[in-house]
Structure 1
Amino acid sequence: MYKKTVLAIFSVIIFCSWSLQPKNEIKNAEWLIGTWENKTPNGSIYETWAKVSDVELSGKSYMLKEKDTIVFETIRLIQENNNLFYMPKVKNQNDNMPVRFKAKTASNNELIFENPNHDFPQIIAYSKINANALVAEIAGTKNGKERKQIFPMSRVK
């Protein structure tokens, strides 16, 4: 009886310590690291991602126009406790403050972030096609109409 009780207590302790470990979903997003290009009729749009720390990636989307870099947004992808947040900051929007989108999905092939209270988009998603291709997507409702924009991107070598 004593051995069964000790074994049961030991099993509970192991299970609890395993289940209390914080999720580290940011590791699932590291496939974003690098520079990605979306070719458009008006020129290429780039998105660059770098690892800042074990809990943060930083990104920016921009366009090159002659010798100038025009930055559209800066992004922080940050792990806070058990949650992963995508936080874009766009100049002259939202009082120049970042908007928080919480991860709904964070896997080695797909990242989906949502903020149902944001005007547009409410959903930001990345789908990995392969090591050198991904599709970024923004979606939601704007002025009562469903909208979606898709950005196929290739890794810049």
Structure 2
Amino acid sequence: MRKLMFCLLGIGLITLSCKKYDALGRKIQFEERYKASFLEGNWTLTDSLGVMEMQWKEADDSTYTGTCLFIHGEKKDTLHREQMEVQQRKNYLIYTTTVQGEKGETPIAFQMTQDTDSTITFENPDNDYPKKIVYRLLRNGKLQQTESGQIRKKAQTQTYLWSKGVPPKESKDDN
């Protein structure tokens, strides 16, 4: 009887140890979504034309939502506004982006095709540009975003280097 009890206890412990839990001890139901957790936070990128601001936050247990703004010059006009989402749907991680004023503001979906602890790749072979979006967290804490695809049948790649920053601000044209 004792051997049976120890055997059942051992099986129970093995079963429990196979489940994944977060740092607070909660069972992780949407494991794929956590592959994008390094995106979370506020990111900025400054160049001679203005400031790009991006913010990612956890919306629920299966989704991160993001906003990206390009704020131009001293007038603080918003020239680019993008809504983004990374969501686990069944066993797939899907990145969806909607850019104000582009493609009829139709959401474009990309599926995760590769990931490591610090890199995540999303692709949509049917979209001209970008076809591929790669986010990579660098050792110095910066976030490298690379977009590639075709513009007018010519291969193009654009890389952005984001730094941790403040949350996106609303500009004058948002009022």
- Residues 25, 107 of structure 1: 8 Å contact kept: no
CA RMSD of aligned residues (A): 2.3
Aligned match of 2:95 in 86, 95, 100? 86
**SS of residue paired to 1:130:** coil
Q: In structure 2, what is the equivalent of residue 135 of structure 1?
A: 144
- Residues 37, 153 of structure 1: 8 Å contact kept: yes
Q: In structure 2, what is the equivalent of residue 53 of structure 1?
A: 60
- Aligned partners of 2:30, 2:41: CA distance in 1, in Å? 24
1:29-108 alignment, distance < 5 Å = 29-65=36-72, 66=75, 69=78, 71-108=80-117
TM-score (norm 1): 0.79
Question: How many pairs are equivalent?
Answer: 141
The answer to whether the aligner puts 1:124 opposite 2:105 as a matched pair is: no
TM-score (norm 2): 0.72
Regions of 4+ moved over 6 Å: none
- Aligned partners of 1:112, 1:25: CA distance in 2, in Å? 13
Higher strand share: 1
Question: Identity rate of aligned residues, in percent?
Answer: 24
- Structure 1: state its 5+ residue gaps: 1-9
Kindly state the Cα deviation for residue 67 of structure 1 after the two structures are TM-superposed: 5.5
